[in-house]
A = this chain, B = another copy of it.
């Protein structure tokens, strides 16, 4: 499953969106579902996740991490299925390149209808993990582009945590983290004082299993 920021239709502020694909066969024909597909013999779990993502939505995320392996007995009405779910964060420029069509569409992550299989539960778990990682860690920056303002970082936190944060105190904390680098560029074009641009210099934190083929 993929998270990206998109402006809310009402307020215009950034909110969390995920792309879903429509089921074109039974079971759950016509319902929306998380993109996915089979694991072949010649690819690692992470490679399979990347490939399935690219094939269904055209997306190539810069942040991809294993979420959880779901293996309950009755996840699909027709057969036993074990799904090893990965989740991704994509930057706005990447997200804009996604192939949208009749059967692939973006939805607000907090306003989904009934999905196929147990996918509502999977989305809920991913949202919970995202909020947790956000609180302590440097994951928010993967939803932004290379350069960003501190106000944009705050908006990401506000969108994910769903509460407002004090701008001044938030600045102080973010600036205290060593992975945030001040540039000498400013974002022009607003109707107000132009904010300084910053850059994230940390590494994504690799998964234990994604060392490539030897």
Contact = CB atoms under 8 A, between A and B. Distances in A.
B70 A84 contact: no
**Residue from A82, A122, A136 with most neighbouring chain B CB atoms (10 Å):** A82
Interface string A42-75: 1111000000000000000000001011111110
Interface residues of A, number: 26
B71 A84 contact: yes
A168 interface: no
A79 to B, nearest CB: 10
Contacts of A214: 74
Interface string A19-49: 0000000000000000000010111110000
Contacts of A41: 80
**Residue from A69, A84, A136, A214 with most neighbouring chain B CB atoms (10 Å):** A69
Contact of A69 (B43, B45, B213): B45
Contact of A73 (B43, B72, B80, B122): B43
A71 B213 contact: no
Contacts of A209: 68-72
A211 interface: yes
B72 A84 contact: no
Contacts of A71: 39, 44-45, 84, 209
Interface of A: 39, 41-45, 66, 68-74, 80, 82, 84, 121-122, 125, 136, 208-209, 211, 213-214
